[in-house]
Chains A and B, each alone.
Chain A
Amino acid sequence: MDGSMVMFGHWLQNRPFALAIAGSDWAYPLVQATHFTGLSIWIGTIVAVDLSLLGVGKKSSASLQLSDALFIWNWIGFGIAVTGGFLLFSISAETYLTNIAFLTKVGLLIPLGLVLHVVIQRKAPTWEKSSETPSLAKAAGFTELLLWLCVATAAVLIPYVG
């Protein structure tokens, strides 16, 4: 592992806020719950749009325009998830920075997911208006679902490989 990254991890986990969270019985679970609540909003709003693009559960209610309607809450969820996630990371940053599952999650899968997500978000209003969803839209929606599932998989594997 790159020495400067380890030094950064060491510095971060010795910040007073990180030490305070690590040293408290109740702070850690609350930060975890914050991360999961943000993720629920983030993933929930993404899955709602992607499953709609895939045509799952789309019967008479074809007039729903979900992507724009959920835009604000989608990014509010992301903000909460990242805040909680950063705090979780900061209390044992050195360990996370040497964990291959964590590095894959944050360095590869999340950036890929974000890029695809922004592309879908820009295109979805047009896709949602067309009477028949283009197959490109379906492929994008399906890929995005898979990508976030991979992010969750990498996250769950952190303690398994560490």
Chain B
Amino acid sequence: MLLHICRWLQDNSLISVINGTAWTAAAAEIVHYFSMFVLVGSMVIVDLRVLGLVGRRQDATQLAARLFPWIWVSLALNFLSGFLMFAGSATAYYRNDIFYDKMGVVLLAIAANLVVQQKVRAWDRLPAMPAWAKFMAVLSIGLWVGAIIAGVEVPALTGVG
């Protein structure tokens, strides 16, 4: 069933034109990389603020309120460009174990983003960041770095992408 969808995607004429034309394929890659930098970088800033390692004079709630919209916009652009890249070789990714690992780590990292976004205001009201807030921040950084490592392992170890 899933394989069927992958095959259909890959044979879709629009998808094959996008992936088969140099400038559109390159454009998808550029958007994917740049939005990833903004997504991970902005989230790491929020995490470092929770850890007390960045701009302590800045209010964590305000910083998060400023950065989270960009984080979600970058995630949307990252997903869209990533989907186009995936669709072009969908059947190869379907058989690629490391690609599943990458998606798993990315989902966990997004979940950690949501927890930090929900909780940062409450943490900020306390006299000091609680230990579990710092744990979440470290986890979030670790998951995003893990997502990057898994991302580069897909082509490096499997030749797909």
Contact = CB atoms under 8 A, between A and B. Distances in A.
A90 B41 CA distance: 26
Most buried by A among B41, B59, B63, B66: B41
A64 B57 contact: no
Contacts of B63: 64
Interface stretch (A50-58, A105-113, A114-122): A50-58
A30 B149 contact: yes
Most buried by B among A37, A63, A148, A153: A37
Contacts of A157: 26
A33 to B, nearest CB: 4
Contacts, number: 118
B89 to A, nearest CB: 16
B149 A33 contact: yes
Interface in A48-98: 48, 51-52, 56-58, 61, 63-66, 68-70, 72-73, 77
Interface residues on A, range: 35 or more
Contact of B38 (A33, A44, A57, A64): A44
B62 A61 contact: yes
B61 to A, nearest CB: 9
Contacts of A33: 145, 148-149, 151-152
Given A70-B45, A156-B26, A36 B148 contact: yes
Contact of A40 (B22, B55, B148, B152): B148
A66 B57 CA distance: 10
B44 A41 contact: yes
Contacts of B41: 40-45, 47-48, 77
B37 A39 contact: yes
A66 B30 contact: no
B37 A44 contact: yes
B136 to A, nearest CB: 19
A77 to B, nearest CB: 7
A57 B30 contact: no
Interface of B: 22, 26, 29-30, 33-34, 36-45, 48, 53-55, 57-59, 62-63, 65-67, 69-70, 144-145, 148-149, 151-153, 156-157
Interface of A: 25, 28-30, 32-33, 36-37, 39-45, 47-48, 51-52, 56-58, 61, 63-66, 68-70, 72-73, 77, 148-149, 152-153, 155-157, 160
8 contacts: A25-B157, A29-B157, A32-B156, A40-B44, A47-B70, A57-B66, A73-B45, A156-B30
Rank and list the top 4 A-B pairs by shortest CB-CB distance, nearest first. A44-B41, A69-B55, A43-B37, A40-B40
